[in-house]
A and B are shown apart, each in its own frame.
Chain A
């Protein structure tokens, strides 16, 4: 572990705990050579990247599932004994969130779809919880993990592009699914091929098809990528600044406070943006241009 230098410190903080297979004959970071292909935890960034696609970020997955379960448990505990009478403390909070999400959905989506509202609620709360981990001082949990012998521990799942991209691609697939379900493949094609340039003349219309197709496909592909990378980029940058602030000694306290204060806003805002864009994309699939 190269935690002694500044760049080593940063790299250590930005490295996920990766579990994967290293090929036979691989020279590990401590100099030992593997005789067989081995499933193991990566001890350096190089090892993690050499594990290829079939490796998993254990910390991202654990924290993400853990936070998702917290969300489910809190909401489920309220949903189980919910009353339409006078609501109690926690029920009030939950109802406010649910109502907020419901309003957001109703504002931009006018059809009937039982998935969109729960999807939006899940995204908002889960992303918010994952982002919230950013406010835990950067050294606390990785420090404990190091004491416990775990080489890396990145506690903010949304600073892992795998997590954000998985969610945005899921949303994208759902969008394509509903697009086809509502309008059929013909509708999908005409949405992509006949806009934004259109003409009453059939010949010009036909000529314009490839142009439209190119433009629309690019903007279509850009949707999941921008959705996932926006969340990742914001949180990754925020986390990086927390790490940089953490390196400057005792002066970090006011800076940390200021940045955390600003970050409270970023955390909520990014969760909200992710939710809103999900709703917008899904309602686009349902509505005519």
Chain B
């Protein structure tokens, strides 16, 4: 328990150990600790940002969906309207076509009736001429009497 030069030796050793710790031990360890602290803080901040982004994206998706639904509704409505219009148009055209067909048929009928009448008239004329010829008993000059016959035929 004497105070002696050990005190000097220990002081030197102490100074050396503190110097070594200050130079080679403390800086790398505390540096790594601070770096990790920063990493964790950055990670947390990134997570926060991601959460916010996700929320935004979700809101946007909902909005888009809403918009799309609205648009679909609109398109459907338009299509329905268009369909109605097309059907109406088709109906009108069909009616017109029908009327046209009826008119054409009537005209044809009239024409055919006329043709039959003409044919009938011609035959009647020739029969009348033949009849008259037979009745008169002589050959009537067809050319001379044609005007008469024509007139007869027209009176039929």
Known: A56-B9, A75-B29. A18 touches B4 (CB 8 A): yes
Q: Are A98 and B29 in contact (CB under 8 A)?
A: yes
Contact A48:B39 (CB < 8 A) given known A68-B17, A82-B28: no
Distance in Å: Cβ of A238 to nearest Cβ of chain B: 16
With a cutoff of 8 Å between Cβ atoms, the chain B residues found around residue A167 in the complex are 10-11, 14
Cross-chain contact B28 with A79 (CB below 8 angstroms): yes
- The reply on A84 being an interface residue by CB < 8 A is yes
Which residues of B sit under 8 angstroms from A250, Cβ to Cβ?
none
Q: Is B6 an interface residue (CB 8 A)?
A: yes
Asked whether B36 is an interface residue with its Cβ less than 8 Å from the other chain, the reply is yes
**One of A18, A162, A170 near B15 (C-beta < 8 A):** A170
Query: What is the predominant secondary structure among interface residues of chain B facing chain A?
Result: helix
A82/B32 contact (C-beta < 8 A), A51-B4, A119-B18, A122-B21 known: yes
Q: Identify which of B7, B21, B26, B29 contacts A95 (C-beta below 8 A).
A: B29
User: Using a Cβ cutoff of 8 Å, how many contacts connect chains A and B?
Assistant: 125
Measured in the bound complex, the distance between the Cα atoms of B5 and A165 in whole Å is: 12
Minimal Cβ-Cβ distance residue in A for B11 = A166
User: From residue B88, how far is it (CB to closest CB) to chain A in Å?
Assistant: 76
A118 touching B21 by the CB < 8 A rule?
A: yes
Shortest CB distance A87–B (Å):
8
Checking A84, A118, A165, A170 against B3 with a beta-carbon cut-off of 8 angstroms, the contacting residue is A165
Residue A186, interface by CB 8 Å: no
Contacting pair B25 A118 (CB below 8 A): yes
A12 interface hit (Cβ, 8 Å): no
Residue numbers in A under 8 Å from B11 (CB-CB)? 166-167, 169-170
Contact A56 B5 (CB under 8 A): yes
Q: Count of A residues near B, CB < 8 Å?
A: 52
B residues in contact with A85, CB < 8 Å:
36
Tell me if B139 is interfacial: C-beta within 8 Å of chain A.
Answer: no
Tell me whether A115 and B6 are in contact (CB under 8 A): no
Chain B nearest CB from A124 CB (Å) reads 11
Interface pairs A-B: 6 shortest CB-CB: A166-B10, A162-B6, A84-B35, A118-B22, A118-B26, A79-B28
Provide 24 A-B residue pairs closer than 8 Å at the C-beta atoms, listed in order of the A residue. Answer: A16-B1, A18-B2, A48-B2, A49-B2, A56-B9, A60-B6, A64-B13, A72-B25, A76-B20, A79-B25, A84-B35, A115-B18, A115-B22, A118-B21, A118-B22, A119-B22, A122-B14, A157-B10, A166-B6, A166-B8, A166-B9, A169-B7, A170-B14, A170-B15
Chain A residues packing against B (C-beta within 8 Å): 14, 16, 18, 20, 48-49, 51-57, 60-61, 64-65, 68, 71-72, 75-76, 78-80, 82-85, 94-95, 98-99, 102, 114-115, 117-119, 121-122, 126, 157, 160-163, 165-167, 169-170
